[in-house]
Amino acid sequence: MSTRAPRPPRLLPSTGPTPLLVQHASAVLVIGHLLPHTERPLQADVKTLERFSALMAQQGWPAHVSAMAFDRIYAHERFAFAARHGDGDLAMLAGELLNCHRRGARRGSARG
């Protein structure tokens, strides 16, 4: 009898919420697209965050698009980690997103 070691789960990129229409009897629930990037705490478009998430997944690290779009602390942690430990395209994209994060932080503090 041979036993195989369990395989680690394969990480897939997180694409965030997708548009959805749910109807139950007369009630209708509509889940729409994310807010435009100009209305979110992190001023980066979803396609860029999805690309970042896919590059992170290729290297075995999680990065959730919807969390990065709305949680500046989580986004900064993921970008900084990727900038330090990622290779090639991931590190370069992480650096660009860190700059975007910093610009948003300065704009937010100027408003308050």
Render pLDDT for 52-76 as a digit per residue (tens, 0 to 9). 999 999 999 999 998 898 888 999 9
With beta carbons less than 8 A apart as the criterion, state whether 16 and 64 touch.
yes
CA distance 16 to 76: 17
- Let me know if residue 40 belongs to a domain: yes
Question: Domain containing 61: what range?
Answer: 36-111
CA distance 44 to 36: 9
- Let me know if residue 85 belongs to a domain: yes
pLDDT, position 110? 53
Domain count, the chain: 1
DSSP string, 39-87: GSSS---HHHHHHHHHHHHHTT----HHHHHH-HHHHHHHHHHHHHH--
The stretch 84-103 carries a mean pLDDT of 92
Using the predicted structure, report yes or no on whether residue 30 has a pLDDT greater than 80.
no
CB atoms within 10 A of CB 29: 9
- Let me know if residue 102 belongs to a domain: yes
- Let me know if residue 13 belongs to a domain: no
Phi/psi at 74 (5° precision):
-60, -45
Reported as a pLDDT band with limits 50, 70 and 90, residue 44 is confident
pLDDT, position 11? 60
- Let me know if residue 100 belongs to a domain: yes
Reported as a pLDDT band with limits 50, 70 and 90, residue 27 is confident
- Let me know if residue 8 belongs to a domain: no
- Let me know if residue 97 belongs to a domain: yes
- Let me know if residue 95 belongs to a domain: yes
